[in-house]
Structure 1
């Protein structure tokens, strides 16, 4: 359903890759969304809502306490947030990372770089929680 209402991602491919050739048709997608979910796709909702390539301008207005974890081996990284937007909207970028490896459960086989990435994420989140608790404590003094 989110594909039809929030994140239409036209996927195409040629016969020059390991994937079968595919084309995208807005008309076919629209008909499928209507038939299965009773909605028409909103092709530009995600970029309108979040600013597309200018996501930093949108998030500066209302965002905080967000970590964008990016691995440069992730094929989606080109569309990722690769630089900090503010002191509390942080981009953690690793050259070796792939798609959401740092979000998976830890195992004994995890490489050192992913252990370090997770450590940084936890440290940042603990800092936010500590600051919140300090702010709340000051409110009641």
Structure 2
């Protein structure tokens, strides 16, 4: 009987060693990339109405990361001399594939940006904006949807 108890105790003592992991089994740490830091830049192109008519070809879009802790958002400035346009709004940014990023309205408290967003695919930036007849942000029934098509400079 004593021999049997010694064998059980020895088995229980060596049991934890069976569950010890090797260093090769350790997972690599997950590296999170801040998408808003990857889309900074200046883009130039044109603005089109819903019918595809070009309204201006002097569009300049400046995208800058908002430097606040734990914020993955950018400040987007859209300018056009021909349209007397100089608008600015925050947008959240998310990585959506290889070299592809999506923009969504970043100010939940402001309804005027709610129908705005865009996509950066490589160097091609496409933005959809709801603007008034004076090319200012607007989400009322009289607002119109415009599309910006730009390339990174």
Give the TM-score of the pair, scaled to structure 2.
0.21
Give the TM-score of the pair, scaled to structure 1.
0.22
Higher relative contact order (CA 8 A, sep 6+): 2
Structure number with the higher helix fraction is 1
